[in-house]
Structure 1
Amino acid sequence: MNQAATPPSPALGLPPDGAPLPHTASTAPFEPNAVEVMTPEQERVYLASQSQLMWWKFRRHKLALVSGVVIIVIYAMAAFAEFLAPYHYTTRNTDFIRAPRQEVHLFHEGRFLGPFVYPYTQRLNMENLKREYDVDRSRPQPLRFFCRGEEYRFWNLIPGNLHFVCPPEGGTLFLLGSDRLGRDMLSRILYGGRISLSIGLLGVFVSFVLGVIIGGIAGYYGGKVDLVVQRLIEIVQSLPHIPLWLALAAIMPPSWSPLLVYFGITVILGLMDWTGLARAVRSKLLSLREEDYVVAAQLMGAKPARIIGLHLVPGFMSHLIASATITIPKTILGETALSFLGLGLRPPITSWGVMLNEAQNINVVALYPWLLYPVVPVILIILAFNFLGDGLRDAADPYR
């Protein structure tokens, strides 16, 4: 005789007949259909986008984070060089040729005066015909901040004369010394940074475009096209870069304007650094071209350029950005080397390489060591970009 089914006791916490079992955070081994509930932290990671995951991993790389801040500060200083520089980069002080740097003081004879410098008095040493400068500590000269100074055109567009710091009234301000024409080294470093840093970005843009296009064609089509591209890359990589840079820079006509020389150097540097990026793009496309979404795009009639540009390349754009970040310092070093050897940019354009061209003579460096100050921002920006590239590469790695 069958007994009627009795409803479960509410005290046992069981649902009535026919109701689904609730999901619990802990599941027994014999419950195959049970679903584990994610914690809020796990759900946050599961629902995060690729850019959010990269940012969270990048923040753990403290050195890369600091390097990114340093790069932003250096580029901001170069962008606002007219405002930050006390002089224009062409301004000459013929009475203070190769003057040493002036130190900034706060106290004079025990009294607080704020930021000030002591003036120089110049005399000519008749024994070695060298200009010597003595510090006159009896006349402190206060610095002026957010003041009106030399006229300039911001980015050669907007006229202005507002400076962050100006020389004292009737005095000079050489925080990093002056060069052989009496020009302020700090002002020239700020203006020169704009040229050197922009060449790095433009050169990487040229190599980035060439690498994506040529590597994308090789990886998408494969076969004989890939074979030809690979041999071309090997030929370019086998050429010694420095002699080739020198040869290409030497064939530029001397009659070219500084602007044409600038773009010529940029193209030369970009043409030499696309091979590594092209190989990275080619290897990625070889592994992605057989994916289902690529086949679906082909069946819908999408052209190869659309498939490469809109479907394949965005899938590993993070790796391309990391590779481009590591390539920028090479371009900056290339411009510095060419200008240092006198085959790159030429005056009146100023860059860090052009400024270091004056430090070729060891005797000049021994007597005037401040002429080597432009190498300091070169080292800082190279190290910062390398550390930033390492951090971006680790953050973009999906297996970390």
Structure 2
Amino acid sequence: MPERLEENSSASQAVVAQPALPVKIEDEGKVKSRGLSPSRIIWKKLRRNRTAMFGLYILAGLYISAILAGFIAPYKYDNAAHDFPFYPPMITRVHFFDEQGNLTRPFVYGIIPDDPTLATYHDDKEKKYPLRFFVRGESYHILWIIRSDIHLFGVDEPGRIFLFGSDIVGQDIFSRILYGAQVSLSIGIVGIIISTIIGMMIGAAAGYFGGATDFTLMRLVEVVLAIPSLYFILIMRQMFGTSLSSAESYLIMLIIFVFIGWAIEARVIRGMVLSLKEQEYVIAARALGYTNTRIILRHILPNTLSFVIVTATLTVPFYILSEAALSFLGVGIQEPDASWGNMLSAAQTNRYLYDFPWMLIPGVFIFIAVMAWNFLGDGLRDAADPRTLG
């Protein structure tokens, strides 16, 4: 008996004396991510992507500027100073010091044309026009609702301020870029929202019901995807002629873009629904007698939103570039209304490119907007990767 007690005692000591086994500690970020919805996880990961956040901030600035175009722009898009065509950018000609080198209120000099045919000018240093803020000018509407005539900055007449220069008829390019952003940027957002809704409905129906419904809808999707997009857009737009107003042209372009854009969304949604409809919560909803419409709208489609947003974000640049191409070719938004595409159409000749390079500034904004959307889309795609959401 004592021998057994001694054996038990020695065994217990051996157990106590054994070194503790290493405990695997989970990554703190993964622990904190547990219990969060997929959208919260995606947003958390997106915020750590500097390139994507840079694109998001750029887009926020562009869209806010477009909404407040009437307030920020010193002139309306069709305000022309015919005496000052092709005036070079004044952004470096806003003076902050007087002739004695003393700091003063920002001002610009008057403009004296040298040769109207060559579009050369020199400053009239006898006339100074102080840069004023929150000045009254031409009336405008913000979001077609708020009416105002207050502008962020401006100069007294007959002075003019052309921050980005003027075009062939003396219109302020800076003001027209802001107004043009309302068209070029909005058509991407409006178009992708409509095409996404249509694509989600068709893709969900194909994936959920399967069979003949799936076969018919997917063949339709394949037909639409097989159409050469740019050529189809040009042909369809040309069929309506060039005598339409800018509002009618905008609507026609929007319809064409939606027609060729919904198929991509439908194919993505169909693939996701094929997987989601076999999940336990969907099977339980069927067992409870819920209608197919309720199951699709309440239980399936909400779980696809994160990935739909990624696809939509990567598609917006196509809409922006398509509108710019049509307007550049003269079958989109018509003068005197402004869009980035029709502003670029004035820079088609070699003389304009060499002598008046500021006419290409709208193209710079197209490039910035497209790159910002691509940065954001790539960041969302990485953040929504299913392999990293667990």
Same fold (TM over 0.5): yes
Pairwise CA distance, 1:261:
2.0
**CA 1:301/1:347 → structure 2, altered by over 3 Å: closer, same or farther?**
farther
Pairwise CA distance, 1:49:
2.8
Residue in structure 2 matching 1:284, options 266, 272, 279: 272
Contact (CA 8 Å) 1:94, 1:181: kept in 2 or not? Answer: yes
Q: Which residue of 2 aligns with 1:335?
A: 323
Pairwise CA distance, 1:39:
9.8
**CA 1:370/1:50 → structure 2, altered by over 3 Å: closer, same or farther?**
same
Give the Cα–Cα distance (whole angstroms) in 2 for the partners of residues 261 and 337 of structure 1: 13
Give the Cα–Cα distance (whole angstroms) in 1 for the partners of residues 361 and 342 of structure 2: 12
Q: Which residue of 1 aligns with 2:365?
A: 377
Q: Which residue of 2 aligns with 1:87?
A: 75
**CA 1:157/1:139 → structure 2, altered by over 3 Å: closer, same or farther?**
same
Contact (CA 8 Å) 1:123, 1:133: kept in 2 or not? Answer: yes
Residue in structure 1 matching 2:113, options 118, 122, 125: 122
**Is 1:241 aligned to residue 218 of structure 2?**
no
Structure 2, unmatched stretches of 5+, are: 1-18
Q: Which residue of 2 aligns with 1:224?
A: 212
Structure 1, unmatched stretches of 5+, are: 1-25, 30-34
Pairwise CA distance, 1:37:
10
Give the Cα–Cα distance (whole angstroms) in 2 for the partners of residues 157 and 256 of structure 1: 25
Residue in structure 1 matching 2:258, options 270, 280, 285: 270
**Is 1:104 aligned to residue 104 of structure 2?**
no
Pairwise CA distance, 1:207:
1.5
State how 1:2-41 maps to structure 2 within 5 Å: none
Give the Cα–Cα distance (whole angstroms) in 1 for the partners of residues 29 and 269 of structure 2: 34
Matched residue type, 1:288: L
Residue in structure 2 matching 1:175, options 159, 163, 188: 163
**CA 1:39/1:251 → structure 2, altered by over 3 Å: closer, same or farther?**
closer
Once the two structures are aligned, what percentage of the paired residues are identical?
A: 39
Residue in structure 2 matching 1:151, options 139, 148, 168: 139
| DSSP-derived class of the 2:66 partner | helix
Matched residue type, 2:70: E
Q: Which residue of 1 aligns with 2:347?
A: 359
Contact (CA 8 Å) 1:206, 1:267: kept in 2 or not? Answer: no
Pairwise CA distance, 1:71:
0.6
Pairwise CA distance, 1:41:
6.6
State how 1:282-321 maps to structure 2 within 5 Å: 282-321=270-309
| DSSP-derived class of the 1:250 partner | helix
Contact (CA 8 Å) 2:77, 2:336: kept in 1 or not? Answer: no
**Is 1:398 aligned to residue 386 of structure 2?**
yes
| DSSP-derived class of the 1:63 partner | helix
Pairwise CA distance, 1:272:
1.2
Query: How many residues in Structure 1 have an aligned counterpart in Structure 2?
Result: 369
Q: Which residue of 1 aligns with 2:314?
A: 326
| DSSP-derived class of the 1:345 partner | coil
Deviations 1:228-274 (A, max 9, x none): 33322222222211110011101225554432221111111111122
State how 1:121-140 maps to structure 2 within 5 Å: 121-124=112-115, 129-137=117-125, 139-140=127-128
Contact (CA 8 Å) 1:258, 1:348: kept in 2 or not? Answer: no
Q: Which moved more, 1:71-80 or 1:309-318?
A: 309-318
Pairwise CA distance, 1:284:
0.7
Give the Cα–Cα distance (whole angstroms) in 2 for the partners of residues 78 and 341 of structure 1: 23
**CA 1:195/1:41 → structure 2, altered by over 3 Å: closer, same or farther?**
closer
**CA 1:188/1:42 → structure 2, altered by over 3 Å: closer, same or farther?**
closer
Matched residue type, 1:394: D
Pairwise CA distance, 1:301:
2.6
Give the Cα–Cα distance (whole angstroms) in 2 for the partners of residues 224 and 399 of structure 1: 33
Deviations 1:332-377 (A, max 9, x none): 1110011111111223432111211222223222222111111111
Q: Which residue of 1 aligns with 2:198?
A: 210
Give the number of the structure whose residues are more often helix, by fraction: 2
Q: CA RMSD in A?
A: 2.5
Matched residue type, 2:108: V
Q: Which residue of 1 aligns with 2:9?
A: none
Give the Cα–Cα distance (whole angstroms) in 1 for the partners of residues 30 and 113 of structure 2: 70
